[in-house]
């Protein structure tokens, strides 16, 4: 038996990925930017075992459901092909955040799974190649492999669609203060959401402007220019949600509390607090702010009715092997 354990952080996208040019290879229609979230992580052990007759999966100490197992087994098939190997694996994955908390775990899950699976087989891939394989499990997982502030280049084929660090973890002291407003599972996950993106008339416009927004957001991060950062990050999140709301069928992820928080954030910014919002495919609000304003943002969020919890995360490192 050959085994390894890897740990990965989820990430929050500042310029979003929404829609694939190739569903099987998960080649996105546009490049994206993100930051890893240090206080949240998934730890996954992969054990390749020639005596096993199928793959198995435990999540947070419980046998995973069939849908989750099939998705993981499919990802392991892709990895087995690269390794030219036929052994099955026992996979055990644990999140330090509750699965039902509405914090997406697929990015950290597939980043940790990919890195642990290759390491367990004693095959050392470059970071770049690891990002391409993580991408096959969940697009955003590619961005959880490198450290800090990361760009995922859309690319044109499996090899050219990869992610890389563009600013180190300690480059800029910003914090993600996540307001949890709903703990239930979403009705439409991102896998199906990506498929419906092209049914919105607005998707073409969103994609057409993505390269300019990447440029502007990257520059704002490199210059630590919060005003420029806030403008492009909120605009990009609004654009993605406009596409979701105008897709067929329409996807509405916002709850009344989501809108209340977005309104408050604009007011707080007017009042001099350096904070802006961004939302993934769910109602929780990621409030990105400079470190010195994190505590006041957290306190203010806790006082809003409908906010169930607040989780704080600073820029995080990449996926690491913790035992082998």
Stretch near ligand PMV under the rule CB under 6 A, chosen from 12-20, 37-45, 65-73, 316-324: 12-20
CA-based nearest residue to 167, from 117, 212, 110, 229? 229
Interatomic CA distance for residues 149 and 165, integer angstroms: 6
Stretch near ligand PMV under the rule CB under 6 A, chosen from 16-24, 76-84, 174-182, 215-223: 16-24
Interface pattern 181-210 for ligand PMV (x via CB under 6 A): ---------xx--x----------------
Interatomic CA distance for residues 233 and 231, integer angstroms: 6
Between 15 and 83, name the residue whose CB sits nearer to ligand PMV: 15
* Least distance from ligand PMV to the Cβ atom of residue 194, Å: 6
Q: 165 with 51: CB under 8 angstroms?
A: no
3-class SS of residue 102: coil
Say whether residue 289 binds ligand PMV (CB under 6 A).
no
Could you report how far apart the first and last alpha carbons of the chain are, in Å? 12
Residue 249: cis peptide before it, omega within 30 degrees of 0 = yes
Task: Pick one of 56, 114, 280, 318: the residue that binds ligand PMV (CB under 6 A).
Answer: 280
* Least distance from ligand PMV to the Cβ atom of residue 228, Å: 20
Between 120 and 251, name the residue whose CB sits nearer to ligand PMV: 251
Stretch near ligand PMV under the rule CB under 6 A, chosen from 51-59, 70-78, 138-146, 266-274: 138-146
* Least distance from ligand PMV to the Cβ atom of residue 189, Å: 7
Between 19 and 121, name the residue whose CB sits nearer to ligand PMV: 19
* Least distance from ligand PMV to the Cβ atom of residue 140, Å: 3
CA-based nearest residue to 176, from 317, 270, 8, 290? 290
Say whether residue 16 binds ligand PMV (CB under 6 A).
yes
* Least distance from ligand PMV to the Cβ atom of residue 27, Å: 12
CB environment 21-46: b (16+ within 10 A), e (fewer) = beeebbbbbbbbbbbbbbebbbbbbb
Task: Pick one of 138, 161, 165, 300: the residue that binds ligand PMV (CB under 6 A).
Answer: 138
Stretch 100-129 residues interacting with ligand PMV (CB under 6 A): 104, 106-107
Q: 57 with 69: CB under 8 angstroms?
A: yes
Task: Pick one of 36, 93, 140, 247: the residue that binds ligand PMV (CB under 6 A).
Answer: 140
* Least distance from ligand PMV to the Cβ atom of residue 66, Å: 20
Say whether residue 241 binds ligand PMV (CB under 6 A).
no
Instruction: Give the single-character DSSP code of 247.
Output: S
Using a 10 angstrom Cβ sphere, with 0-12 exposed, 13-18 middle and 19 or more buried, the burial of residue 233 is buried
Q: CB under 8 Å to 101, separation ≥6 — which residues? A: 180, 183, 309, 311
Between 140 and 216, name the residue whose CB sits nearer to ligand PMV: 140
DSSP string, 304-324: STT--EEEEE-B----EEEE-
Task: Pick one of 17, 88, 162, 172: the residue that binds ligand PMV (CB under 6 A).
Answer: 17
Q: By the criterion CB under 6 A, which residues form the site for ligand PMV?
A: 13, 16-18, 32, 104, 106-107, 138-140, 190-191, 194, 280-281
């Amino acid at each position: 038996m050959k085994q390894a354990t890897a740990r990965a952080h989820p990430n929050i996208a500042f310029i979003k990925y929404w829609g694939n040019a190739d569903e099987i290879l998960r080649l996105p229609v546009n490049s994206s930017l993100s930051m890893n979230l240090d206080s949240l992580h998934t730890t996954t052990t992969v054990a390749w075992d020639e005596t096993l007759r199928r793959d198995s999966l435990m999540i947070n100490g419980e046998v995973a459901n069939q849908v989750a197992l099939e998705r993981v087994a499919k990802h392991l098939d892709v990895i087995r092909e690269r390794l030219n190997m036929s052994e099955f694996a026992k996979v055990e994955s644990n999140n330090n955040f509750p699965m039902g908390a509405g914090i997406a775990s697929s990015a950290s899950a597939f980043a940790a799974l990919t890195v642990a699976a290759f390491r367990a087989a004693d095959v050392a891939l470059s970071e770049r190649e690891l990002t391409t394989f993580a991408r096959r499990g969940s697009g955003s997982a590619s961005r959880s492999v490198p450290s800090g502030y990361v760009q995922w280049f859309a690319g044109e084929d499996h090899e050219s669609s990869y992610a890389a660090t563009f600013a180190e973890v300690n480059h800029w002291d910003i914090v993600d203060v996540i307001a949890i407003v709903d703990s239930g599972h979403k009705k439409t996950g991102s896998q199906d959401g990506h498929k419906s993106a092209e049914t919105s008339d607005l998707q073409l416009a969103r994609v057409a402007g993505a390269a300019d927004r990447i440029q502007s957001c990257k520059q704002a991060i490199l210059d630590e220019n919060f005003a420029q950062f806030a403008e492009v990050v909120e605009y990009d999140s609004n654009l993605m949600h406009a596409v979701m709301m105008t897709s067929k069928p329409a996807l509405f992820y916002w709850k009344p509390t989501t809108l209340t928080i977005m309104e408050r954030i604009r007011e707080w910014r007017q009042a001099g607090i350096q904070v802006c919002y961004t939302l993934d495919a769910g109602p929780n609000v990621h409030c990105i702010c400079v470190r010195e304003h994190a505590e006041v943002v957290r306190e203010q969020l806790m006082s809003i009715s409908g906010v169930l919890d607040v989780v704080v995360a600073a820029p995080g490192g990449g996926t690491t092997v913790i035992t082998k």
